[in-house]
Amino acid sequence: MVVVTNNMVNGWKITAIIFIIIFILETAFFIYSFNLGTEMIEKENECAYNVCNNYDSYAYDDYAEICYCYNDNELQHEEYIR
């Protein structure tokens, strides 16, 4: 015979609330990181296809959000991407 005390019931409620909070935080972090990654890819694509399409190569600085365009390994153009 199993005796369920009031402390055991409250323990399960607290554990369930903790797991729900952890699940919500994990989901929010996943959505944030997915959106951040998508935004970075879009900016690099804009650099490659819209800004530096007439140059030999390009480099995109994620931190400064600047697109650098090169011809013959020399910097020819740079542009800030919003």
* HEC per residue, the chain: CCCCCHHHHHHHHHHHHHHHHHHHHHHHHHHHHHHHHHHHHHHHHHHHHHHCCCCCEEEEECCCCEEEEEECCEEEEEEECC
Domain assignment of residue 46, yes or no: yes
Residue 10 lies in a domain: yes
Q: Does residue 32 lie in a domain region?
A: yes
Q: Is residue 1 part of a domain?
A: no
pLDDT one-digit tens code per residue, 8-66 = 667 788 899 999 999 999 999 999 999 999 999 999 999 999 999 999 999 999 899 99
Residue 51 lies inside a defined structural domain of this protein: yes
Number of domains making up the chain: 1
Residue 76 included in any domain: yes
**Domain housing 30:** 6-80
pLDDT at 4 over 90: no
